[in-house]
Amino acid sequence: MSECDNMDSSAKAYSKNIQKAIKALQRGEMILLFDLEGREAETDFTIAANAVTPEDVRWMRKDAGGLICVALDSEASEELGLPFMADVMREATQCSTALHKIVEKGGDLKYDSRSSFSIWVNHRDTRTGIPDNDRALTINKLGEIVDRTLAGEEVHFGSEFRTPGHVATLRAAKGLVHERMGQTELSIALAKIAGITPVMVVCEMLDDENGRALEKTDAKQYGKDNDLVFVEGEEVVEAYDIWLSSQ
Ligand SMILES: O=C(CO)[C@H](O)[C@H](O)COP(=O)(O)O
Ligand SMILES: [Mg+2]
Ligand SMILES: [Mg+2]
């Protein structure tokens, strides 16, 4: 079966670049995902959680340098009981009044109305949770547990994972890119289009010289030099709408 056979019938309507990105993700390869000018304007390394190896974790921390996070779609997050971290903290204000002033509220973020952070986890088979092999295991197991729930298995997240941990989970908005344009939603939209498990790893590219988010032009150049597809949020939204109308 050719790689194109893995795509739905609307595959031909996607731009060439999106088709390349979809094929790369289906092969378990890394792509580069820029959100939007005027939002974070960041480029994230992006790869399917099921495909991640310890070498990918090393690559992300050395060449991307941001936070290694795992995005899950809204349904999977609900199924596993992964709440938004801000909601957990708001609940906790009942125990600690100091938290009142700390918890994220509307207007706090300069680039969006809210963050997508859920809880931080480690798989229970990890030791400290931070080495590359531990993080890869936690990430793979997040993909695996979602596959099992999608197959109808009853799972118990807490029997397999603990929090706090060293892998940040992100909960995608229910309306995905129509509700929020973060890499959380963009990566999950790509997973839906590609027909892969909606559990995706993202990690921001930072500039080694100045510590800021890597400029888009430099991220694009990195993509060219390393043969990685570079996609922008707007292209993803266009493809997602085509995919949605074919469902
Ligand atoms: O802040 C983040 C976590 O390190 C990153 O920006 C990541 O891309 C996910 O967040 P968002 O969906 O807001 O872009
Ligand atoms: Mg961010
Ligand atoms: Mg982002």
ipTM > 0.90 (yes/no): yes
> How does pLDDT run across 35-72, given as a tens digit for each residue?
999 999 999 999 999 999 999 999 999 999 999 999 99
Task: Tell me the CA–centroid distance for residue 43 and ligand 3, in Å.
Answer: 7
> Is 50 a known active-site residue?
no
* Local confidence band at 9 (pLDDT 50, 70, 90 cut-offs): low
Q: Are 183 and 71 in contact (CB under 8 A)?
A: yes
Q: Considering 44, 73, 134, 235, which one is annotated as catalytic?
A: 44
Give the mutation target among 183, 187, 206 for probing the ligand 1 site: most ligand atoms within 8 A of CB. 183
Residue at token pair 């229910």: 174
Alpha helices in 176-215 (DSSP H): 183-194
> How does pLDDT run across 132-169, given as a tens digit for each residue?
999 999 999 999 999 999 999 999 999 999 999 999 99
Q: Does the structure show a pLDDT above 90 at 8?
A: no
pLDDT of the residue at 95: 85
The Cα-based distances of 175 to 55, 105, 181, 241 in angstroms read 33, 20, 10, 12
**Global pTM?**
0.96
- Tell me which residue has its CA closest to atom 8 in ligand 1: 183
Which domains, and CATH codes, for the chain?
Answer: 8-245 (3.90.870.10)
Identity of residue 45: F
